[in-house]
Structures are given as C-alpha cells and as structure tokens.
Amino acid sequence: MLSVKVMKMNNIKENSFKKIYITFFTVVTLICVSFIMFILNIDSLKSSTVINVTLIFVLSIFFLAILFIYLIRKKILNVFGDLDEIIDSAINEEKIITGYDETMLSALESKLFRYIKITKANKEAVENERNKVKTLVSDISHQTKTPIANILLYSQLILENEQIDDYSKEILQDIKKQSERLNFLIQSLIKMSRLESGIIILATSKIKIKDVILKSIQKIYINAQGKEIDVNISCDENIMASFDIKWTVEALVNILENSIKYTKVGGKIDIRVTSYELFKRIDIKDNGIGIDEEEINNIFKRFYRCKNVNQYEGVGIGLYLTREIISIQGGYIKVSSEIKQGTTMSVFLPS
C-alpha cells in the first residue's frame, strides 16, 4: 500500500518557460528598437556618444544572454530535482502530493504511479503463476516417480525369471525400454520447467574446468565404451572458471551423449579447453553425422530434432536444457558442423 507524503514542489506549468521567453524577447526588442532609433539620429551626435551607446548596447545584450541562460538552467535544474524526488518516492512507494493544479510534474507523477501500480500487479501475477508452476511440477514429479519405478522394477523381476518365453521377454524388454524413455522425458520436462520458472538457483563458484570434464566423462563412459569411441582431453590443470558444477556437468553430459549417439562405432570425441580473459572455452568435437547448416540455429529449440536423426532415439530436450543452464550462468554456446564430417560444440563459461 502506497504511503502519502506532502511536499512543496516547483510549480512547473506548460507556460512556465514561455513567460521567460516572452519577457526576454520584449526586453531585447525594446533595446534593439532604441538602438536603431539612435542609429537614425547618429548625424547629430558626437562620435564619443556613439561609441558609448554602442558599447552599452553590446554589454546589455551580453548581460541579458547570460541572465537568460542562468534562469533557464535554474529552471531546468529545479525540474530535474523535482523529478528525482518523485522517482525516489515512487521507488519507496510514497505518494507525493504536488498540489491541486494541473502542472506538468503532477501529470507526470500521476502517470508514474499508474505505471508502478500496473507493474506491481503484473509482478504479483507472475509470482502467483510461478508458484502454481512450482506446485504443479512438484505434483508431477511426486505422482509419476513411484509408478514408473514400479514398472521398471516389475519388468526387471519378470525378465530375471528363466521360465519366461522369448516372446514375453521381448515384450517386457520393450516395456522396460519405453518406461525408461518416459522417465527420462518426465525428468527432463521437470528440469526444463524448474529452470524456466526460476525455481532452480545455480550456485556458481571458481572451479577447475578439468574436474567438471572428468565428472561428465564418468557419466557417459560406459556408453562410449559400448560403441568403442575414444574420448580425448586436452586441458591445462590450472584453468578455472565460474560455474555451478552440478548443473554444468548436466549440460556437458547432454552434449557428450549426443556426440556418442550420432557417432559411428569406432569414432572419437576430442575435448579441448582454451583460456581467454573473459571466458573459458570448452570445445567438444566429434566425427559423427554432422548437422545441416540450415538447422544449426534450431537445434537448441524445445523438442526440435534434425531431419537426419529420425532413426535415432530422442525427444529434443537435451540441447535446450544445456543452453538454458549455460545461459543462466552468464555463458553461451557456439556450434560449427559439416554433414558426415562431425560437429563441434563450443561452450563458453565466464572466467
């Protein structure tokens, strides 16, 4: 609720400056007319008198110019002073009463407080919506976690039964596979929702980049080994950057999983770190199927999948989450790629 503060403000009306203009114009006109009349009678006057009158005329015009500039400057400073008080009071939610007359400042004050009122209402609406999303995300996470875990558990228990026939085993394996995919999708959607609504707050600190790379490789090592993909690291031990290690690992894992998925058996992934003054650059380069140049700008969109990856599993959320995580930390991602040659994802983390 806005408090009310009564203050004596400068009475800045629309014709306030006009009065100064008219006054000075009238005075200057009178002086100029007088000087012209003097010039017309110059033949009957002494030369010394002419010089003195001319000097007085010049000095008068010069003095009036200085006075005009001073008064205008003072008036403008008063206006800015009043505006500064109005803005400070608006920030502190204190209503100023400048008077009952319709001055320019009172009109501006009224508009400013209407704007603040609208902004405050919008902020409260956004906060309420964020709380609703937070509650919904928590409900989805809670309600789906147990059923999916049970499906996976029961499927695994039945698959371990030696008496099961091949046909049933094949169906159960498919059920397990689809359940894992559903679980991954739900968890990704929950993470995406939390990041977008600001529920998750990343805690950044100075950390060695090599540590985050090694943690990321540990999570994808089995998949890389299964496809006989070599993962090579080139990183100075002492290079550090500012980031949240947990979420940055998640971002790098998403990139590495894509590199493994879209690289043929026996391929390779090279990870190189370069240090700049403002950023540290992590290049993750593979020799996979590559990305069409026309699609590079779209790969970070939600649920977007390239035309040449239909035969691969995926839902198109991983890279979107990666970009969100890196962006929240003040970094960014660049991509360069050639079809059938490979892709390089360059992650820039603030120093």
Domain locations in the chain as residue ranges? 3-101, 140-196, 205-350
Residue 207 has pLDDT above 50, yes or no: yes
pTM strictly above 0.85: no
Half-sphere exposure of 266 (CA within 13 A, CB side): 0
Residue 201, phi then psi, degrees to nearest 5: -115, 120
Helix residue ranges, H only, the chain: 16-40, 47-91, 104-159, 166-196, 209-226, 245-261, 318-328
Distance (Å) of CA 292 to CA 173, 252, 267: 34, 22, 20
27-73 pLDDT per residue, tens = 778 888 777 777 766 666 566 666 777 787 778 778 878 888 888 78
Q: How many CB atoms lie within 10 A of CB 337?
A: 20
What are the beta bridge partners of residue 201?
A: none
pLDDT for residue 102 = 47
pLDDT for residue 259 = 87
> Which of the four pLDDT bands, split at 50, 70 and 90, describes residue 94?
low
Give me the CATH code for the 205-350 domain, please: 3.30.565.10
Query: What angle (nearest 5°) sits at the alpha carbon of residue 29, between those of residues 27 and 34?
Result: 100
> Which of the four pLDDT bands, split at 50, 70 and 90, describes residue 198?
low
